Amino acid sequence: MARGGEDQILIPEVVPISFSADVKNEMAGLLPARPCCQLSELLGIYFGARGRLLRRPGDGRAAYFSLLRNAVARKVVRLGRAVGQMEAKYQAVKTKKRMTFFIELSLPPGLEGAFTQSAAAAMPDAACDRKAMLRGLFLGCGSVNAPSTRYHLEYVAPAPSWAATIRRLLEDAGVTAGVTERAGQEVVYVKDGDGIVRLLSLMGASRAVMEFENVRVVRSVSGEVNRRLNFETANISKTIGSGLRQASAIERLESSGRLERLPKALKEMARWRLANPELNLSELAVRMKLSKSAVNHRLRRLLELSEQVVQPHDHVRRSA
């Protein structure tokens, strides 16, 4: 039930402390069904979060993750289990201000290669895996602004080679991305609302997409209201503008003495216009109980006549 009853447009009353965190929590709750997608997402998190490969006692290797979100850490454990029954060591450490979650996944010998490949080689071929990798990368190094602020989604590339790969993944998915440098790191960003919505839905963040769409509806509605207000304001000033112009023309006729000598219909028109410079033609016509075209015709006639009145300062201005 909508709070407040009849209000159907949902404007978020409280901007979440971190929209990004909400989006990541939502994505962390998804587990792809296919092993190919599971591995791609795990690799996305691993590379995005700058994971490292550890040598284990004996000759095994382990993928080592240092993560800031518990939901993502738990997802790494689940993915590892799903992909290859990987054994996981999990440790939560409270540092100065935040919690950090350390995960160590023992890699089966066949999978070590996947964790040591270059960014270009890590880019999957299948569309399902590209999506999964984009989601993993987002969980590892991505963030998105709340839709109520400016549209901005970004990946802080773990290495320059990854900036190129992330950008290609995005553009292959039909999302226009830019790359910029910030504090020595390459950042791949998406700035248009459509691109962000497309990417979020590609990554399966449907709650986030809904929130975006709600805000976009509100924005386009208020945009429409603003456009209409501007249009009306423009029309009002046009009416006032022409009304004042006519009134001053009539004043010139009057001060030159010519108004007195005009037919009764024009004199009456002049009186009405002088008294009501803010009315538009239809409003004047209604009050005078005349047709709009009659009013229009008489006002034009008054303007024409006033142009024949040459006043001293006009003369000077024209010859200057």
**Where do contacts with Zn ion occur on this chain (CB under 5 A)?**
34, 36-37, 128-129
- Within 69-131, strands assigned E span 88-94, 99-107
Shortest reach from residue 37's CB to Zn ion, in Å: 4
Minimum CB distance to Zn ion, residue 166 (Å): 18
Least separation in angstroms between CB 235 and Zn ion = 57
| Rounded Cα–Cα distance for residues 224 and 85 (Å) | 55
Contacts of 24 (CB under 8 A, 6+ apart): 69, 71, 72, 138, 139, 142
Edge-first strand order for the sheet with 153-156 is 142-144, 153-156, 185-190, 178-182
**128 vs 159, beta carbon nearer Zn ion:** 128
266 vs 240, 307, 308, 309, CA distance in Å?
Answer: 20, 15, 16, 16
Strand partners, 312: none
**Residue 168 or residue 245: which is nearer to Zn ion going by CB?**
168
Which CB atom, from 42 or from 187, has the smaller least distance to Zn ion?
A: 42
Q: How far is the CB of 121 from Zn ion (least distance, A)?
A: 17
Nearer to Zn ion, 39 or 250 (CB): 39
Q: Name the residue nearer to Zn ion (CB basis): 129 or 186.
A: 129
Q: How far is the CB of 207 from Zn ion (least distance, A)?
A: 23
Cα–Cα dist 216/6, whole Å: 20
